[in-house]
Amino acid sequence: MGRTKYAIAFALALVMALGAVGVASAAVPVDSSQLRDAVGVGGILEHERAFQAIADSNGGTRASGTPGYDESADYVAEKLESAGYSVTRQVFDYDLFIENSEPVLDPTDPDLPAYTPGDMPDDDFSTMSYSGSGDVTAPLQAVGGIIIPSPGGSASGCTAEDFAGFEAGNIALIQRGTCNFREKVENAQAAGAVGVVIFNEGNVVPDDDRVGNLFGTLDPPQMKVPVVGTSFAVGEELYNLLQQGPVTLRLVVDATVEQRTTENVIADTTTGRADRTVVVGAHLDSVPEGPGINDNGSGSATILEVAEAMSELDIQPRNRVRFAFWGAEESGLIGSEYYVSQLPKRELKDIAVNLNFDMVGSPNYVRFVYDGDASDTNSLGSTGSGVVEDVFTDYFASQGLASEPTAFDGRSDYDAFISVGIPAGGLFTGAEDIKTAEEAETYGGAADVAYDPCYHQACDSFTPLADGADPAAYAAIEAGYPPGTLVGNLNTQALDEMSDATAHGTLTFAQTTSAVTGTNKGSGAPMSSAAKYHGPLLQR
């Protein structure tokens, strides 16, 4: 789950009721208590245990393009068919980026210690997805547009003019900002660069990390040269070294791209208005490194439990509900993008809203709600997304529970929907970022520890400590919650609260009598050229 974003201001004249929430001008409020009572943590954990067993039988992973994912899709499809849904399995091909060994970023002249690669914010650098392969040692050259210190808005590498005077055969040093990463790298390749180092921008903005390790994706096809992203500190150090004299770097990336086949699992209610379809989505795949019990077994298990509960209660929705389990999210939101791209214009217009649930059981959780009206964060979005935000924030308020806004930054599957103007929103309990003292006081758990210390690791499982997680981190988290709250890498308190909110939001939009207004809804005209990445894969 990887952040310049578009800050979109919304002018919404929308009134939401507290507690039993109606949507926009809907006259009939929705009482979700029966559905919330039917959605239980026990049922969610049953699905999670099935996901764990599937991973255990398939090399410890449920990544798209692997037998573990295929079995996960079989499991979900069988459950939904048994519950009476109309199930479609949407098969598609995609390019899977595979990093075969750790990258290298090593200043050889002056001879300094090599930088540390890794997947955490405090590591020095990481390979950008769809980087080219190569082992090059060459002079480093700064590209025009670098701003240090940065107030934001660096356009380094965004135009051919930025490479005026660039010497072919050098490694390009570029600052994050303004245009997307692929544009910067394509310009560098055109100028003759044999490698690219893109460093984080260095400005501090609310709810956004422009300082730490930069995790980026370049999107297929694979680039021709090796490309890594670094923290601002690494970039600043390299830039300052260049002001003192020549710098030579060794840059190594060993990566390949393979075409794989995977699928989305789509399940529709058999009743409800098709011209006001509510798409309730979660990605089903894990990363290759682990079973993905929180990311995103928690989201998939939760919406599966909601679907089964709606069937058991014989709820007849006014609007069709479509439960979607996306494939290849971890490879760049590919499944949800493919789904939206294949919809005819008429069917695009029929989608009223997308609800996205990506990680809702984080061990050190916060109740995050996507900031649909961009009032608190630098968010992407489409008009009407503020309505979705209000449904969730008003629900939590009605239960006496605090919630926090989180940015629509392109990290998850909502992006495909807001990019064509469809209103979207959803819930999130946190990934690799660090919990603040204020958040720990409000939500419990441990300050100065990641929301999910096992994010994108093998220990995102039912037995995290057995798989290498930091015992001290989990002891600190556990001390902040009632005994028994943590089950492996899941927080059952989070699952209980967030699944109730998921059920409430799903039923609210399933039964509303009003449309949720979207801008360019279903037109195919993008509202943004948002990043296609995850966890956190950063485009700008």
Positive or negative, the CA dihedral 390, 392, 396, 402 is: negative
Among the listed residues 71, 236, 329, 497, the single catalytic one is: 329
SS3 403: coil
Bridge pairing between strands 255-268 and 319-326 = antiparallel
Phi and psi at residue 78, to the nearest 5°: -60, -45
Among candidates 23, 79, 26, which has minimal Cα distance to 48?
79
Among candidates 164, 166, 165, 188, which has minimal Cα distance to 175?
188
**Structure tokens given for 368:** 């995050």
DSSP category for residue 19:
S
Q: In what order do the strands lie in the sheet with 195-199?
A: 104-109, 248-253, 134-142, 171-175, 195-199, 227-230, 125-127
User: SS3 for 51-107, per residue?
Assistant: HHHHHHCCCCCCCCCCHHHHHHHHHHHHHHHHCCCEEEEEEEEEEEEEECCCCEEEE
- CA dist 56 → 49, 52, 284, 290, 292 (Å): 10, 6, 16, 10, 12
Specify burial of residue 109 (Cβ count, 10 A radius: 0-12, 13-18, 19+). Answer: middle
Tokens 């794989």 belong to residue: 260
Bridge pairing between strands 227-230 and 255-268 = unpaired
CB 165 within 8 A of CB 196: no
Integer Cα distance of 504 and 533 in angstroms: 28
- CA dist 107 → 134, 142, 172, 255, 268 (Å): 16, 15, 14, 21, 55
CA-angle at 70, arms to 64 and 74, nearest 5°: 135
CB 203 within 8 A of CB 210: yes
**Structure tokens given for 356:** 């996205």
**Structure tokens given for 181:** 């990463």
329 is catalytic: yes
SS3 29: coil
Among candidates 444, 431, 377, which has minimal Cα distance to 404?
377
**Distance separating the N- and C-terminal Cα atoms of the chain:** 15
Positions marked catalytic: 329
